[in-house]
Amino acid sequence: MRRPGFLSWALWFGYAFLYVPIALLIVYSFNENRLVTVWSGFSVKWYGELLENEQLLSAARLSLEVGAISATVSTVLGTIAGLALARFGRFRGRTLFGGMITAPLVMPEVITGLSLLLVFVALEGLTGWPDGRGMTTITIAHTTFTMAYVAVVVQSRLVSMDESLEEAAMDLGARPAKVFFVITLPIISPAIVSGWLLAFTLSLDDLVIASFVSGPGSTTLPMVIFSSVRFGVSPQVNALATIIVLLVSAGIFVASVLMTRQERQRVRDEQMAQQGG
Amino acid sequence: MSRKGFIPLGNRMGEGRPPGFDIGGTAVVQWAVARLRRIGLWGRGLVLAVPYVWLLLFFLIPFLIVFKISFSEAVLAQPPFTGLFEWLTDDSGEGGKLQIILNLGNYIRLWSDDLYVLAYLSSLKMAAISTLLCLLVGYPMAYAIALAPPARRGPLMMLVILPFWTSFLIRVYAWIGILKANGILTGILSSLGLVDEHFEILYSDTAVYIGITYTYLPFMILPLYATLEKLDRTLLEAAADLGCRPWEAFLKITLPLSMPGIIAGSLLVFIPAVGEFVIPELLGGPDTLMIGKVLWNEFFSNRDWPVASAVAIALLAFLVVPIMIFQYVQGKGHDGEVR
């Protein structure tokens, strides 16, 4: 290998850059001192305070609900969109559709948030729906911007997938819907699962878009964190951050173990099928 | 990959079912289905219509509305802006005509007030510098992972992506404790005798650069890794056999061949970074001018929706070219693999 010294140094520097801040956050969440960066002894009292913070807990509940609903809707819509881009060939309006799918990936959040708010206001003026802003509008907004991520994940899985199985099923007379549910869907299911997880975390994480489209009484978790972080560090946020990091890491770990196992099973099945036939 | 044998689906749009399939029901239903088939809204078309309509309604039309409202005036009302179109009738209620009032004042204000012009320029500059920093940190990482043994690449990439899954807001927050006066970094630097203990990086442009580089790094590494992994290693061996020095081979072979990854990664960082709000708000100082912050303040503090819309439209105008390049690169990547 060329210059392994420099490259591996760069790699370890990069990992340190990525992980040291998170590690410090976790360490200092167990700090007894109110001044987060002055260590004065081990304590879990901030976790206790966290669990008594009603405002924070209800915001977390709202965020989880919005995340689950919007991730589910955007997974369905995004899977269709990814399928259309990868398999439908050319159709009327494909360029526009492709553009609308990739643009949200890079669109600055302030623009997306403002434009969605204005469309909700205009819709309310025209039809009376949505009546005020709150959970519904946040869910719709999150579905819209997370759908693009699901579509890209599903599309790239479909593009790298062997089409011969689908072709064989078609040749044997299966109709497109059947081909999709019996052949395509099981094969791309890992991509769909990661698309859902991605949409869910993006929704849980979003501050800017939710701030634009939320109304009084509907405060999401990032909005609560943001308003307390704005005035500096707080030990409760450190405790919350630790919980989030641990939950996410556990979730990712379980998902990747499951996917690896499923992938191995699939490879084994394929080998057996080849040997048997 | 050849598509032959796979029935071209575009041509099948209107005929999702084999002939002779009985739809059942009355003649009206059959007529409706026939109509839908003719305009391509049956089978595939019908399925596709759902996300299509959703995106039209919640992604494309919103921009048209932002554009429209950028020409209106702020008023104290609900909603807080004037209408553009008015239907004028005379006293008898007849002979109506449409009056359209386009108020260019918002755009004139953007152009004549230094605040906005400087904010746009400074956002572009800060996003560009952050993108460069991401490239400097991310390229060696992506290259090192691509050169690692295949079995280790997956876990190494996983380590890059993992922080991306944890909360963005919390990753920005982590830096406040590190960069503030009396913070962790100052503590380390002052114990080494490099700075005094009131040294503070937080609330400065430098802190914003660190924040953007930190949070956007995975977006840079992913496309870079994707192109570097596919790089034909025998080219480098051939170059070495012909007496090419390693760094020369890197400049002449690896770098040009990884250009698609560099472009895609840079755009994935640059475009959203221009409009970034959270990072300059939390890590930047009072002098840190970024257009995302300006837009936010126009909307939430001044409650001036029309000016906020004009700011958004002008920002979009700056970003149209980069976004189109991004879409072209994205589209080419996929088409190249399909065909």
Specify the CATH number for the domain of residue B244.
1.10.3720.10
CB proximity list for A180: less than 8 A, separation 6 or greater: A83
Segment B118-161, tens digit of pLDDT: 999 999 999 999 999 999 999 999 999 999 998 888 889 988 98
* Residues B152 and B37 reside in one and the same domain: no
Q: Which tokens in the block code for residue A123?
A: 């819709």
Candidates B81, B162, B203, B291: best to mutate against A (most CBs of A within 10 A) is B162
Instruction: Tell me, yes or no, whether A28 lies in a domain.
Output: no
Please list the residues that pair with B99 across neighbouring strands: B86
* Residues A76 and A89 reside in one and the same domain: yes
**Domain count across chain B:** 2
Where a domain ends, among B51, B69, B87?
Answer: B69
* Residues B188 and B301 reside in one and the same domain: yes
* Residues B20 and B162 reside in one and the same domain: no
Long-range interactions of A170-178: CB distance < 8 A, separation 24+: A170/B6, A170/B7, A171/B5, A175/B16, A175/B17, A175/B18, A176/B9, A176/B16, A176/B43, A176/B44, A177/B16
Which range, of A184-198, B14-28, B92-106, B197-211, averages the lowest pLDDT? Answer: B14-28
**DSSP-derived 3-state class of residue A202:** helix
Q: Is the pLDDT of residue B257 over 60?
A: yes
Please give the pLDDT value at position B212. 95
Please give the pLDDT value at position B336. 41
B338 touches chain A (CB under 8 A): yes
Q: Which of A49, A58, A148, A156 is nearest to A98 (CA)?
A: A148
Query: Whole-angstrom Cα distance, residue A252 to residue B40?
Result: 41
Q: Looking at the complex, report in whole angstroms how far the Cα of residue A193 sits from the nearest Cα belonging to chain B.
A: 14
Q: Which residues of B touch A90 (CB under 8 A)?
A: 10
Q: Which tokens in the block code for residue B270?
A: 């640059």
Instruction: Tell me, yes or no, whether B129 lies in a domain.
Output: yes
* Residues A161 and A66 reside in one and the same domain: yes
Residue B3 pLDDT level (bands cut at 50, 70, 90):
very low
Candidates A107, A115, A129, A224: best to mutate against B (most CBs of B within 10 A) is A115
* Residues A171 and A249 reside in one and the same domain: no
Q: Looking at the complex, report in whole angstroms how far the Cα of residue A277 sits from the nearest Cα belonging to chain B.
A: 23
Instruction: Assess contact for B221 and B142: CB atoms under 8 A.
Output: yes
Instruction: Assess contact for B58 and A119: CB atoms under 8 A.
Output: yes
Identify the H or E element spanning A235. helix A235-276
Q: Looking at the complex, report in whole angstroms how far the Cα of residue A266 sits from the nearest Cα belonging to chain B.
A: 18
CB nearest to A118's CB, from B54, B65, B158: B65
Q: Is the pLDDT of residue B114 over 70?
A: yes
Q: Looking at the complex, report in whole angstroms how far the Cα of residue B91 sits from the nearest Cα belonging to chain A.
A: 26
Query: Whole-angstrom Cα distance, residue B282 to residue B287?
Result: 13
Alpha carbons within 13 A on the beta-carbon side of B55: 26
Between chains, do B177 and A87 touch, taking CB under 8 Å as contact?
Answer: no
Please give the pLDDT value at position B287. 86
Between chains, do B338 and A159 touch, taking CB under 8 Å as contact?
Answer: yes
* Residues A240 and A170 reside in one and the same domain: no
Q: Name the residue with tokens 């959270």.
A: B278
Between chains, do B58 and A97 touch, taking CB under 8 Å as contact?
Answer: no
* Residues A221 and A239 reside in one and the same domain: no
**Domain count across chain A:** 2
* Residues B191 and B64 reside in one and the same domain: no
* Residues A149 and A261 reside in one and the same domain: no
* Residues A134 and A261 reside in one and the same domain: no
Range of the domain at A251: 233-271
Instruction: Tell me, yes or no, whether A185 lies in a domain.
Output: yes
Between chains, do A248 and B166 touch, taking CB under 8 Å as contact?
Answer: yes
Q: Residue B141 CA to chain centroid, in angstroms?
A: 23
Q: Is the pLDDT of residue B286 over 90?
A: no
Q: Looking at the complex, report in whole angstroms how far the Cα of residue B248 sits from the nearest Cα belonging to chain A.
A: 12
CB nearest to A167's CB, from B6, B79, B305: B6
Please give the pLDDT value at position B264. 92
Instruction: Tell me, yes or no, whether B93 lies in a domain.
Output: no
Which range, of A144-158, A236-250, B83-97, B233-247, averages the lowest pLDDT? Answer: B83-97
Instruction: Tell me, yes or no, whether A15 lies in a domain.
Output: no
Query: Whole-angstrom Cα distance, residue A87 to residue A81?
Result: 10
Instruction: Assess contact for A104 and A174: CB atoms under 8 A.
Output: no
Please give the pLDDT value at position B6. 40
Instruction: Tell me, yes or no, whether B161 lies in a domain.
Output: yes
Please give the pLDDT value at position A175. 84
Residues 11-50 of B with CB under 8 A from A: 13, 16-18, 40, 43-45, 47-48, 50
* Residues A148 and A169 reside in one and the same domain: yes
B57 touches chain A (CB under 8 A): yes
Residue B10 pLDDT level (bands cut at 50, 70, 90):
very low
Please give the pLDDT value at position A208. 95
Residue of chain A minimizing CA distance to B159 = A15
- Per the prediction, chain B carries an average pLDDT of 82
Between chains, do A208 and B175 touch, taking CB under 8 Å as contact?
Answer: no
* Residues A156 and A89 reside in one and the same domain: yes
* Residues A168 and A265 reside in one and the same domain: no
Q: Looking at the complex, report in whole angstroms how far the Cα of residue B48 sits from the nearest Cα belonging to chain A.
A: 7
Q: Is the pLDDT of residue B213 over 80?
A: yes
Which range, of A112-116, A176-180, B10-14, B287-291, averages the lowest pLDDT? Answer: B10-14
Instruction: Tell me, yes or no, whether A206 lies in a domain.
Output: yes
Instruction: Tell me, yes or no, whether A83 lies in a domain.
Output: yes
Q: What is the DSSP letter of B56?
A: I
Instruction: Assess contact for B203 and B284: CB atoms under 8 A.
Output: yes
Instruction: Tell me, yes or no, whether B1 lies in a domain.
Output: no
* Residues A133 and A193 reside in one and the same domain: yes
CB proximity list for B202: less than 8 A, separation 6 or greater: B175, B176, B179, B180, B181, B183, B283
Instruction: Tell me, yes or no, whether A264 lies in a domain.
Output: yes
* Residues B252 and B128 reside in one and the same domain: yes
Q: Which tokens in the block code for residue B164?
A: 């991306």
Between chains, do B217 and A100 touch, taking CB under 8 Å as contact?
Answer: no
Between chains, do B6 and A114 touch, taking CB under 8 Å as contact?
Answer: no
Instruction: Tell me, yes or no, whether B80 lies in a domain.
Output: no
Please give the pLDDT value at position B41. 63
* Residues A186 and A241 reside in one and the same domain: no
Q: Looking at the complex, report in whole angstroms how far the Cα of residue B104 sits from the nearest Cα belonging to chain A.
A: 19
Q: Where are any strands of DSSP class E within chain B?
A: 85-88, 97-100
| Chains A & B: contacts with CB separation below 8 Å | 276
Cα first-last separation, chain B:
6
Q: Which of B224, B210, B215 is nearest to B288 (CA)?
A: B210
Q: Encode A217-234: b = buried (16+ Cβ within 10 Å), e = exposed.
A: ebbbbbbbbbebbeeebb
Instruction: Tell me, yes or no, whether A55 lies in a domain.
Output: no
* Residues B203 and B263 reside in one and the same domain: yes
Residue B333 pLDDT level (bands cut at 50, 70, 90):
low
**DSSP-derived 3-state class of residue B177:** helix
What's the CA dihedral at A253, A259, A265, A267 to 10 degrees? Answer: -120
* Residues B116 and B232 reside in one and the same domain: yes
- Kindly give the interhelix angle for B205-230 and B168-179, rounded to the nearest 10 degrees: 130
Where a domain ends, among B69, B90, B114?
Answer: B69
Query: Whole-angstrom Cα distance, residue A74 to residue B86?
Result: 38
Instruction: Tell me, yes or no, whether B90 lies in a domain.
Output: no
Instruction: Tell me, yes or no, whether A44 lies in a domain.
Output: no
Which range, of A147-161, A228-242, B35-49, B216-230, averages the lowest pLDDT? Answer: B35-49
Radius of gyration of chain A (CA): 23
Instruction: Tell me, yes or no, whether B279 lies in a domain.
Output: yes
* Residues B181 and B51 reside in one and the same domain: no
* Residues B128 and B245 reside in one and the same domain: yes
Low-confidence ranges of chain A (pLDDT < 50): 1-2
Section B169-193 average pLDDT:
83
Please give the pLDDT value at position B334. 54
Query: Whole-angstrom Cα distance, residue B224 to residue B332?
Result: 16
Strand pairing report for B85-88 and B97-100: antiparallel
Q: Is the pLDDT of residue B86 over 70?
A: no
- How far CA A83 is from CA of B15, B169, B223, in Å, comes to 18, 32, 22
Q: Which of A204, A276, A198 is nearest to A240 (CA)?
A: A204
Please give the pLDDT value at position A4. 55
Between chains, do A115 and B337 touch, taking CB under 8 Å as contact?
Answer: no
CATH of residue A180's domain is 1.10.3720.10
CB nearest to A207's CB, from B180, B278, B300: B278
Q: In chain A, what's the furthest Cα-to-Cα distance?
A: 72
Query: Whole-angstrom Cα distance, residue B239 to residue B249?
Result: 6
* Residues B50 and B134 reside in one and the same domain: no
Candidates B133, B160, B162, B170: best to mutate against A (most CBs of A within 10 A) is B170
Between chains, do B272 and A108 touch, taking CB under 8 Å as contact?
Answer: yes
Between chains, do B165 and A201 touch, taking CB under 8 Å as contact?
Answer: yes
* Residues B126 and B175 reside in one and the same domain: yes
Q: What is the DSSP letter of B239?
A: H
Q: Is the pLDDT of residue B23 over 60?
A: no
Q: What percent of chain B has pLDDT over 90?
A: 36
Q: Name the residue with tokens 């519904």.
A: A136
* Residues B65 and B110 reside in one and the same domain: no
B277 touches chain A (CB under 8 A): yes
Q: Residue A25 CA to chain centroid, in angstroms?
A: 22
Residues 105-164 of B with CB under 8 A from A: 137-138, 140-141, 143-145, 147, 156, 158-160, 162-163
Query: Whole-angstrom Cα distance, residue B68 to residue A162?
Result: 46
**DSSP-derived 3-state class of residue A102:** helix
Angle (nearest 5°) at CA B319 between B271 and B259: 55
Range of the domain at B21: 6-69
